[in-house]
Each structure stands twice: as structure tokens, then as C-alpha cells.
Amino acid sequence: MALVITLGVLASGSGTNFQAILDAVAAGRLDARVAVLVCNTPGAGAIERARRAGVEGVVLDHRAHASRAAFDAAVVDVLRARGVELVVLAGFMRLLTDVMLDAYPMRVVNIHPALLPSFPGTHAQKQALAYGVRVTGCTVHLVDRGTDTGPIVAQAAVAVGDDDDEESLRTRILAREHELLPRALQWFAEGRVTIEQAPGQRPRVRVRGAGPAPGVVEG
């Protein structure tokens, strides 16, 4: 049985993945309460989405803080004050420091527009086109101290067409992100996600009771 998990969402831009979370909650597909949106970009579209949904929006301009760690400390204060259990990066264009990762160990979720470990970092769609792959997609993963190296929770595939350019591929991957992220967050709400780590191996996500390949969504 799913519980209502308390989310804190971090965004920097228009907030379409944030909107997908809000829509899933409103439709009853995600048993969650979005306690707060934290945005580091004054005037970003995500702020208006929060206002329309009746979600508290907090603007913390990273340029007003002396360091990345100081900025993360301010974000952690906001999240903790609102009882956030799981942090979701929804187009948040800042690298996290140990301050955030120690406050929410293996409780920060990100969505990346590629099938990790392929094409980490920025401009993943451009990387996929340059490499000539026939299939790419998106990945929900937990955040660790590397760049898009954390344990993978779920992935969805997107075919790359001969006529694709960076924008067309970005648009189609984004549509899959809007499906995949709320679905993966629901697994957290249902308490089905666990982290396993054998000696000498990387941490691995297990999702209980979701079939033979619970982290893979077909195109």
C-alpha cells in the first residue's frame, strides 16, 4: 500500500518535469505531496507552475551565496523545515555538494536525457546524435558524488530517427521523461525501492514486486 511521500522539487527552468509530477499527483497516479519548489533562477517558468498549483515556491538565487556549499546549506534548510523526505531534481542545473548529499543520502532523484551510463553531463542529445546511436532515452537515477553516476532506478528507450536533430530528439525524450519520472517516484511512495551493495561493487537499486524488469519502460 502506498503512503503519501513528501517531495521537495528543485528546478532551474520552465519546469515541465515539475508539471508532470504535479499532474500525476492530481490524477492519483502519484501518492505524494509536493511540499515546496526551490528554484535558483528568478523568473523561471517553474515558479509560475508552482503558484498555479498552490505549491509553495522558494527562490534562492545561487549568485547570492558565497559558495556552492553555502547555497546547498540554504536549500537544505528550506527542505528540512518543510519535512521533505525525497528530493527531486527536475531540470535543476546545479551540481550538488556534500552538504546536500549528506543531508539526503540516496534520497535525491534526478532524471537525465540519455540511457546512462551513456552520455552523462550536458547536451546528452547532441552526444547521442554525434555518436550515431539508434536508441537513446532517459534515466531516473539516484544522485551520488559523480556526474550522473548514481544507481539507476528506471530507464525508458527512445528510437533515434535518421531525420532527428537535437531539438526533435530532445522533445521526444522529454515526453518520455514526463512519463517515467512520476512512475519511478511512485515506487518510492510504495516503499518498493531498496539499495543493495555487495563488497567491491557499485550500489544497485532493487524495485520489489514490479515484474522481471521493473526499471525498463518500453517505447
Tell which residue, 15, 4, 102, 118, has the closest CA to residue 57: 15
Query: How many other β-carbons are positioned within 10 Å of the β-carbon of residue 78?
Result: 18
Q: How far apart are CA 168 and CA 78, in angstroms?
A: 36
Tell which residue, 89, 213, 188, has the closest CA to residue 147: 89
- Please give the radius of gyration of the chain, using alpha carbons only, rounded to the nearest integer: 17
Tell which residue, 36, 32, 33, has the closest CA to residue 2: 32
Cell (9 digits) for 152: 539507476
Query: How many other β-carbons are positioned within 10 Å of the β-carbon of residue 125?
Result: 24
Residues assigned a catalytic role: 112
Sheet of 108-112, strand order: 57-59, 32-39, 5-11, 86-89, 108-112, 135-142, 152-159, 216-217
Residues 140, 144, 148, 150, Cα dihedral to 10°: -50
